[in-house]
Amino acid sequence: KKLGYALVGLGRLSTNQLAPALEKTEHAKLAAVVSGTPSKRDKWRAKYDLGDHVYTYEQFDRLADDDAVDVIYIVLPNGLHAEYTIRGAETGKHVFCEKPMANTAEECRQMIAACEKADVKLGIGYRCQFEPHHLKAMETVRSGGLGELRGLGAGFGFKMPADADPDQKLHWRLNRELAGGGPLMDVGIYALQFCRYMTGREPISVTAQTTLTESIKFRQVEETLGWTMTFPSVLESEAKERNLPEPLRAQVTASCATTYNFGGFNQGEAFGEKGSVLLKPAYSYSGLDGSVKGEPMNLDTPDQFAVEIDAFSQSVKQKSPFKCPGEEGLRDLLAIEAIYQAAETGRRVEVAQL
């Protein structure tokens, strides 16, 4: 049986990526929608033959009684993820939530607790963790294919349209309450994820700085942010076993950046003693490209959303662990909070560990 998904928020991602993906999935199908806009509700009801399974935000909690719905998929602005994930869990349905998981680590903790209490699964939308180029790069680095890992570089950004204004809900990405932050929350998180899953480890400490060219547009969130993260090159247990001196225990520096000021910045690279792995473009929906030690990967990019939705659906059906649970989203927010604190204070900040 295909699991029924309720899409909550019918913006660009739901319209252009998720609804088409739910027509390709083996284990999932679109079963319901939640939207505040009457014209969208009518359009989706007709286009996807949804009948009564169309809800307003005021009717959200009624999803509890909709037997066609197994999973509630939160596709709202970041600042609403926590509220709707928690209310979603309280309906007794499983919850899949878009990245970034929430505005703060504290909200992430509340979301995890709510899903545990309701005994439902929680998944976070990290599509790249299911994408063949990323998997190949990850496998190469983590199996020691580059020898000892020495450094990482990653960045993702785009140009925010000229008419964007933080007071218009249309541009919620510039509004602090709705977005939680600027490009770091929206696209820089892909670079952060890249570094975390390439190393398979958590950053120990970070430094960061921001730059600003359009002070009116970016009065609530950062415009461009550059940051570094220090990762342990060897685990503490290995370090003790091999009797390594202190300086060799924290050797991998990641240099990262994110921006709303220019496009075409979309890459991830890992450098080891025997060569490097490069992904560029790294985080697009299609047309990804990459190489290992200069050799092209020559891999196809499937519909990343269909693959990730099928993976979550199988975890729900089989009651098995999902690759990107709430804790994965929380770990990113712990690093993000440290990065913002470092940018604000100009100091190196330690990353709180889970």
Q: Is 43 in the site for ligand NAD (CB under 6 A)?
A: no
Active-site annotation holds for 280: no
Q: Does 154 bind ligand NAD (CB under 6 A)?
A: no
76 binds ligand NAD (CB under 6 A): yes
Closest distance to ligand NAD from the beta carbon of 13 (Å): 3
For position 78 contacting ligand NAD by CB under 6 A, the verdict is yes
Q: Which residue has the tokens 């909690």?
A: 61
* Among 4-12, 202-210, 259-267, 315-323, the segment contacting ligand NAD (CB under 6 A): 4-12
Query: Residue 178 interacts with ligand NAD (CB under 6 A)?
Result: yes
Assess contact for 333 and 192: CB atoms under 8 A: no
20 binds ligand NAD (CB under 6 A): no
Minimum gap (Å) between residue 113 Cβ and ligand NAD: 21
Q: Give DSSP secondary structure letters for 278-324.
A: EESS-SSSS---EEETTEE-------HHHHHHHHHHHHHHHT---SS
Among 7, 72, 75, 338, binds ligand NAD (CB under 6 A): 75
Q: Which two tokens stand for residue 272?
A: 């080891």
Shortest Å, Cβ 82 to ligand NAD: 12
Among 53, 87, 94, 127, binds ligand NAD (CB under 6 A): 127
Tell me the chain's radius of gyration from C-alpha atoms.
Answer: 20
- How many residues does this entry show for the chain? 354
Nearer to ligand NAD, 128 or 343 (CB): 128
- Contacts with ligand NAD: how many residues (CB under 6 A)? 18
Active site residue 99: yes
Q: Examine residue 125 and tell whether it contacts ligand NAD (CB under 6 A).
A: yes
Options 66, 98, 269, 310; binder of ligand NAD; rule CB under 6 A: 98
Residue 203: cis peptide before it, omega within 30 degrees of 0? no
The one catalytic residue in 126, 190, 260, 340 is 190
**Residues in 268-327 that interact with ligand NAD by CB under 6 A:** none
153 binds ligand NAD (CB under 6 A): no
Which parts of the chain are beta strand (E)? 3-8, 28-34, 54-55, 71-74, 94-98, 122-125, 149-157, 205-211, 224-231, 252-259, 265-272, 275-279, 290-292, 295-296, 349-350
How far apart are alpha carbons 294 and 276 in whole angstroms? 8
Output the CA angle 141-282-80, nearest 5 degrees. 110
Residue 31 in contact with ligand NAD, rule: CB under 6 A: no
Select from 196, 213, 311, 193 the least CA-distant residue to 260: 213
The burial of 171, by beta-carbon neighbours within 10 Å (0-12 exposed, 13-18 middle, 19 or more buried), is given as middle
Q: What is the number of other CB atoms lying within 10 angstroms of the CB of residue 236?
A: 11
Residue with nearest beta carbon to ligand NAD:
11
Tell me which of 11, 145, 226, 325 binds ligand NAD, using CB under 6 A.
11
Rounded Cα distance between 96 and 308, Å, is 10
The residues annotated as belonging to the active site are 99, 190
Q: Which residues bind ligand NAD (CB under 6 A)?
A: 9-13, 36, 75-78, 98-99, 125, 127, 169, 172, 178, 186
